[in-house]
A and B are shown apart, each in its own frame.
Chain A
Amino acid sequence: DTEVTQTPKHLVMGMTNKKSLKCEQHMGHRAMYWYKQKAKKPPELMFVYSYEKLSINESVPSRFSPECPNSSLLNLHLHALQPEDSALYLCASSSRDRAVSTDTQYFGPGTRLTVL
């Protein structure tokens, strides 16, 4: 089973709202990722958690705050977003039990975020 789940599927929020995106995997993977994807563009890496510790932050604005409460769960807390933050947010996970170059990422279905 290579399933990564994400909730909600769609989210509309105002610029003053606080909301959270949730990602879950039960494959025993030890690395989890957040990506942002604009229409017709490749995904852009935001954050990487490896063994529940933040290992990569791609200079993401502080209005995005990731959290990894346990090895199966990854959250992305959103606060004071801008309309240009509207995008598809994808979560992914990978096993990390082999070399990085062979480590396949499995993606969730994404959350389509609209910021008004």
Chain B
Amino acid sequence: AQKITQTQPGMFVQEKEAVTLDCTYDTSDPSYGLFWYKQPSSGEMIFLIYQGSYDQQNATEGRYSLNFQKARKSANLVISASQLGDSAMYFCAMREGRANAGKSTFGDGTTLTVKP
């Protein structure tokens, strides 16, 4: 069973609007971390935001926020005020506390295109 599911292969958003990229996960480990990375066409994977399973508040980093719904096992990335430079592939990833120590599980990614 896939541990990280990103159901949107591609998304379009108008410049300056907000966009939500979906991510659902599956784990039985009570301790886990959820990460979002951005990968522009240049190839570098850029860390955006982290949410821990025990965190009470949703994580925010500048224009990025994570809508963490633990009961639904979802960790959606919200990008506010989209910019042309946000066009990239976005990966959701999970690290578990006990199982698979040292490994990150990545989703298949969502390609975001920001339209001027």
A residues in contact (CB < 8 Å) with B: 2, 31, 40-43, 45, 48, 50, 55-56, 88, 90, 92, 99-110, 112
Contacts and interface: CB of A to CB of B under 8 A. Distances in A.
Interface residues of B, number: 29
B40 to A, nearest CB: 10
A99 B103 contact: no
Nearest to B31: A101
The secondary-structure label for the interface of chain A is: mixed
B56 interface: no
A59 B98 CA distance: 21
Contacts of B32: 101
B50 A102 contact: yes
Interface in B3-38: 29, 31-33, 35, 37
